[in-house]
Structure 1
Amino acid sequence: MARLPKAKPISLSQQYIAIRRQYENIVDSKFEKNQIIFKFKIKPTEESEEYLVRVSYKLHESPIVVLLEPEMKLHNGKRPHHIYGLENGHPILCLYYPKSKEWNKNLYIADTIIPWISTWLFAYEYWQITGKWNYNESNALKGIKKKVKNSMDTEQGDNLSIP
């Protein structure tokens, strides 16, 4: 039986153009030799605070999303467990569990990652009020959540590696 060829990943230039076409709230963007970087403002709801986030993407890697402004608020002295760690004091958002393969290099960031940022921020705002993360989690993530949460409650969270 013949195998189908693997789909080519969406190129950096295609990703860059799609984001520029679909989003007007871009504050800054860079197209470098091996990566694209966008800073943009986003409000998950009309009543929400406005957030400044940075999305950086290198081909064949997972996009990295960092919350730049405002500073992340704590709930009862704790950060939400849905962050990978900190980059220069700014949280790196956990939008999906990479091993579940919800996102891959054949998907547009504009159609997946950016809407997921809004969903994450909405869940974060609910968490600030209730202390509960009101969004489905990967079953695999639930198994490791305690380890990450314990790390995030200490300064060791600054040294967590990005999957």
Structure 2
Amino acid sequence: MSEQFIALKRSYPEFNVKLLKDSVICTGLIRPTSRSVNYSFKLKYRIGKRPKVNILNPELKRNFNNDKIPHVYPLNELCLYYPKYQEFNSKMLISDCIIPWTILWLYHYENWHITGEWKGGGIHPNSSGIRKKAS
């Protein structure tokens, strides 16, 4: 955990990073493009668990078609990668993967609001609960 803490502090000194006994918590503001709003986020990473990222403000919302937000878990936790494919593991740095993936997710979220299409690819559940590959 200390390695994750140090890497986050070094790569993102503007973020508030806390090292706890079994986890790292990181909060801050991110902005996917110069035209984007600032998004307040919270990341929590526990030993042996997947990192959990939530956007605190502004609230994530359905698009103009009233479509459900793609690539989110319950409580609008961001789905940044497909755990079954082991795209992230505990040997990888959150600062090198999870933070950039969060920024990229927000970029695709903003475009989804404009176009109605999720262009970020990936795999997410459909209405039947069966995972399908996104275009």
TM over 0.5: yes
CA distance in 1, matches of 2:119, 2:85: 19
Quick check: 1:25–1:42 contact (8 Å CA) kept in 2? no
1:126 paired with 2:126, answer no
In structure 2, how many angstroms separate the alpha carbons of the residues matched to 1:52 and 1:83?
17
**Where does residue 35 of structure 1 map in the other structure?**
23
Structure 1 residue 125: deviation in Å? 0.1
| Structure 2 residues without counterparts, runs of 5 or longer | 131-135
1:6-40 C-alpha deviation (Å, 9 max, x unpaired): xxxxxx000000000001331x3321111110101
**TM-score under structure 1 normalisation?**
0.74
Q: Which amino acid aligns with 2:126?
A: K
Question: In the alignment, what sits opposite 1:106?
Answer: 91
Q: Deviations over 1:47-88 (max 9, x none)?
A: 1111011110001111000110101121122331210010xx
Structure 1 vs Structure 2 CA RMSD: 1.5
Segments of 5+ residues of structure 1 without an aligned counterpart are: 1-11, 150-163
Distance (whole Å) between structure 1 residues aligned to residue 87 and residue 69 of structure 2: 21
Q: Say which structure, 1 or 2, has more relative contact order (CA 8 Å, 6+ apart).
A: 1
1:47 pairs with 2:35: yes
Q: Distance in 2 between matches of 1:96 and 1:20?
A: 23
Residue-pair matches, total: 129
For the residue of structure 2 that corresponds to 1:65, the secondary structure is strand
How far apart in 1 are the matches of 2:85 and 2:127? 19
Whether the 8 Å CA contact 2:61–2:69 is kept in 1: the answer is: no
Question: Secondary structure in 2 aligned to 1:39?
Answer: strand
Give me the whole-angstrom Cα distance separating, in 2, the residues matched to 1:103 and 1:57.
Answer: 12
**Compared with structure 1, are the counterparts of its residues 69 and 148 closer, same or farther at alpha carbon in structure 2 (3 Å cutoff)?**
farther
Q: 1: distance between equivalents of 2:129 and 2:105?
A: 17
* Distance change >3 Å, CA 32–CA 53, structure 1 → 2: same
- Hey, what does 2:133 align to over in structure 1? none
Matched AA of 2:128: K
- What secondary structure is seen at the aligned counterpart in 1 of 2:128? helix
Query: Counterpart of 2:119 in 1: which secondary structure?
Result: coil
Residues 81/148 of structure 1: CA separation in 2 closer, same or farther (3 Å cut):
farther
Amino acid at match of 2:105: W
CA, structure 1 residues 49+69, in 2 after alignment: closer, same or farther (shift >3 Å)?
Answer: same
Normalising by the residue count of structure 2, what TM-score does the alignment of the two structures yield?
0.89
* Distance in 1 (alpha carbons) for counterparts of 2:126 and 2:12: 33
